[in-house]
Structure 1
Amino acid sequence: MSLMEILLIIIPSTLLWAAPLIFTGLGGNFSERAGVVNIGLEGLMVIGAFTAIVFNLQFDSVLGDATPWVALLAAMVAGAIFSILHAVASITFRADQTVSGVAINLLSIGLALFLVKLIYGKGQTDIIQKSFSKIDIPILSDIPVIGDLFFSNTYYTSYVAIFVAIIVWVIMFKTPFGLRLRAVGEHPMAADTMGINVTRMRYIAVILSGALGGIGGGVYAQAISSDFGHATISGQGFMALAALIFGKWNPLGVMGAALFFGFAQSLSIIGKSLPFLENIPSVYLLIAPYVLTILALTGFIGRADAPKASGVPYIKGKR
């Protein structure tokens, strides 16, 4: 197998697996930049995946080929609504943000599986018929070499995720909204003194976190799993959280880290088709993404400082 043939397998697979992590990691970036720790990203992905699949199954005969995209919007709304629970607990009632995030993770999987059992009478949904499918991007796929590697046999969602990461970077570092968001996460009292509504900014950030987490779950469910069950989302939310830390709370860094973790995940699936990995037992390939995540976080990122007020409830008038 030539190098070109290997890259033709690895690159589209990496982009596919990275897209859900990019969306969810960007969501976490909004929340944590505003000073609210959100380890409930896994739960938000679960809600997004569940909503997207159920919506897809219910409306595919009406919406046709547009079904996956509209289902993605439904997943975004569901994730945003569900994240309000975390916002109310951690911002309004000043509950421990880590505990609240854990509660979101536990509640989401329990609620989703209960509803699946209630609706379908079994532990998982049916398989969707209208999913995100591989395409060749017009014009770009005709570019010699690069077109074959990056724009052929791939998914629109991967490039939407990369585009959104760039947009989030611009919003966060080049707009007044982004400046206020970062001020709230670094020094909320100073931001409050300057007339910024800390509570409102944090609510907006957490809801955006939920919306993007829901999209991440919806992309994963409709492009990779094609149904929803107890193991549809199994660690991807925590991997997105790791990408957030690995990327040092910078949207472009998050995107790069998500691409790395997407590459690690893709190897667990396509490893047997690659000549240099074909003799490695499959169990090692399956655990490789999580091992690489741990190694990346502990050994290769150097000092990674979260926003100074991250995880600290704000009480007006108190330092």
Structure 2
Amino acid sequence: MSVTAKLSPSIAADRVAIRSWRTPIMFGVLAVFAVVVFVLLGPDGHATFRLSQDGDAWQVPNLVVPAKIFGIVVAVGALALAARSYQQMKNEGRISKWVTMTFAVLFVMGLLVWIIGGTNTQNITLVGLFTGAMLITTPLVFGSLSGVLCERSGVVNIAIEGQLLAGAFTASLVSSITHNAFAGLFAAAVAGMFVSFLLAVFSIKYVVNQIIVGVVLNVLISGLTGFLFEKIMKTKVDGVTIFNQPTQLPNLPIPVLSEIPVIGPTLFRQSIIGYFMLVLIVVIWFGLFRTRWGLRIRAVGEHPKAADTVGINVNRTRFLNVIAGGAVAGVGGAYFTLVAVSSFSKDMTGGLGFIALAALIFGRWNPIGAALAALLFGVAGNLQSILSLAGTPIDGQFLAMLPYALTILAVSGFVGKSRAPAADGEPYIKG
């Protein structure tokens, strides 16, 4: 019998549906919220969405949405979907993904129209919203993909923050010295691999608690990069900080595709790191769920003893995955200093490594899900900045809190079962 045939039953064991009324209840509560807030208390104004910028080749008329009417549509749709979720749970014991996704998209759109319709300006540029969000989303995606590679093989990667920070520092330093952005990019990947090497050695070889090792590495990298920043990068020659002047990676617009309204500027006017991110999401998803390599990794993360019995070297597989995850996070760190800003500053990652962990959980340890969750965090972060200047009917801090509240709901099972790989965080000692 092949390795695939032996492992498939164990991998599929986590797909057992569990009847739970939490999701229909939550949908019902949100539907009532939509009726009260979007309809009864909804603004009478219009929400205007600008779909193109002045310099775009394709000019698309603004999308004008009556806030009150759209609120009624959202409320009716939310009530219908809540009823559908109750019916499906009662008859089938599960809720279709299309019901959950449709409800989420509809409610978020209703919330956005309600917010904008109640502002003084009553308009927002979607291009600016999403392009600005990519500055946050890109490193988050790389961090969450690093977590996917590690945790699918059974190693908790709390050190994503340190990997991103090490990549940002090394990219800036090497690029400044060599005047070559690609040299800085390569060095960032190596720096991320070095942090991961320490994580792998202590957590896999010496069986130290993985969470403790990750936290210690974050503190170590923060202190080390801060020290080197003060001693090296602040050194001036002829009044110039020559070790903190990295060469930037240019944006490379793709002809035709970059002119598509909203989508074009967001996805197809990226640097090479941005395009690499899009490719990497697909490659990791395909590798994990459509190849024998991915099956072996998931087996190691779910049932390491079963994987060992069919000849898979569990600890070597985990070691290699952790190193690969470090390289991915290191490239994400390079985005800070080679694309987003023009120099390195102390602790410039600002805790995004921990937010990447939240995106990983929200995305249910799936590369595509984690990327979409990272996009949600990025949009929410940028939306807070945009609407804070527009006089919104709700406090901007609430908008910043919303993605984390959704993550708590996801982890607690209100939007479906969310479970880490069974052996995640558990060291494997053969014999």
Structure-2 residue corresponding to 1:189: 305
Which secondary structure does the structure 2 equivalent of 1:78 belong to? helix
Cα separation, 2, equivalents of 1:50 and 1:81: 13
Matched, 1:81 2:213: no
Tell me the alpha carbon deviations over residues 207-250 of structure 1, each in whole angstroms, 9 at most, x when there is no partner: 11111111111112322232222231111101111111010001
- Find the partner of 1:292 among 383, 402, 406: 402
Cα separation, 1, equivalents of 2:332 and 2:270: 17
Distance 1:83 1:149, change over 3 A: closer
Structure-2 residue corresponding to 1:302: 416
| 8 Å Cα contact 1:125/1:229 also seen in 2 | no
Distance 1:36 1:9, change over 3 A: same
Distance 1:186 1:153, change over 3 A: closer
Structure-1 residue corresponding to 2:222: 109
Shift of 1:296: 1.7
Matched, 1:50 2:97: no
Distance 1:4 1:37, change over 3 A: same
Tell me the alpha carbon deviations over residues 78-103 of structure 1, each in whole angstroms, 9 at most, x when there is no partner: 11022111101110111111100001
Which secondary structure does the structure 1 equivalent of 2:328 belong to? helix
- Find the partner of 2:130 among 1, 7, 11: 11
Cα separation, 2, equivalents of 1:263 and 1:125: 35
One-letter amino acid of the structure 1 residue matched with residue 142 of structure 2: F
Structure-2 residue corresponding to 1:131: 248
Cα separation, 2, equivalents of 1:298 and 1:107: 29
One-letter amino acid of the structure 2 residue matched with residue 81 of structure 1: F
Consecutive aligned runs of 4 or more in structure 1 exceeding 6 Å deviation: none
Cα separation, 2, equivalents of 1:166 and 1:121: 40
| 8 Å Cα contact 1:136/1:152 also seen in 2 | yes
- Find the partner of 1:98 among 211, 215, 224: 211
Larger relative CO (CA 8 A, sep 6+): 1 or 2?
A: 1
Distance 1:121 1:149, change over 3 A: closer
Shift of 1:148: 4.7
| 8 Å Cα contact 1:125/1:227 also seen in 2 | no
Tell me the alpha carbon deviations over residues 234-285 of structure 1, each in whole angstroms, 9 at most, x when there is no partner: 111011111110100011111111111111222244445xxxx52259xx64
Distance 1:147 1:174, change over 3 A: closer
Structure-2 residue corresponding to 1:24: 143
- Find the partner of 1:39 among 148, 155, 158: 158
One-letter amino acid of the structure 1 residue matched with residue 227 of structure 2: F
Q: TM-score, normalised by structure 2?
A: 0.65
User: After the TM superposition, which of the residue ranges 15-24 and 192-201 deviates more from structure 2?
Assistant: 15-24
Shift of 1:164: 0.6
Shift of 1:151: 5.0
| 8 Å Cα contact 2:222/2:347 also seen in 1 | no
- Find the partner of 2:288 among 172, 183, 198: 172
| 8 Å Cα contact 1:30/1:205 also seen in 2 | yes
Cα separation, 2, equivalents of 1:151 and 1:42: 25
Structure-1 residue corresponding to 2:331: 215
Distance 1:141 1:168, change over 3 A: same
One-letter amino acid of the structure 2 residue matched with residue 294 of structure 1: Y
Tell me the alpha carbon deviations over residues 63-114 of structure 1, each in whole angstroms, 9 at most, x when there is no partner: 3xxx2x3311110011102211110111011111110000110011111111
| 8 Å Cα contact 1:49/1:221 also seen in 2 | yes
One-letter amino acid of the structure 2 residue matched with residue 73 of structure 1: F
| 8 Å Cα contact 2:258/2:269 also seen in 1 | no
| 8 Å Cα contact 1:221/1:232 also seen in 2 | no
Q: Let me know the Cα RMSD of the aligned residues.
A: 2.5
Shift of 1:311: 0.6
Cα separation, 2, equivalents of 1:259 and 1:51: 26
Which secondary structure does the structure 1 equivalent of 2:368 belong to? helix
| 8 Å Cα contact 1:35/1:311 also seen in 2 | yes
One-letter amino acid of the structure 1 residue matched with residue 357 of structure 2: L
Structure-2 residue corresponding to 1:316: 430
Which secondary structure does the structure 2 equivalent of 1:306 belong to? coil
Tell me the alpha carbon deviations over residues 35-77 of structure 1, each in whole angstroms, 9 at most, x when there is no partner: 01011100111101110111111111xx3xxx2x331111001
One-letter amino acid of the structure 1 residue matched with residue 349 of structure 2: I
Q: TM-score, normalised by structure 1?
A: 0.87
Shift of 1:315: 1.2
Where does the alignment leave 5 or more consecutive residues of structure 1 unmatched?
none
Cα separation, 1, equivalents of 2:331 and 2:166: 10
Tell me the alpha carbon deviations over residues 99-137 of structure 1, each in whole angstroms, 9 at most, x when there is no partner: 000011001111111112221346x98653522344432
Cα separation, 2, equivalents of 1:151 and 1:298: 29
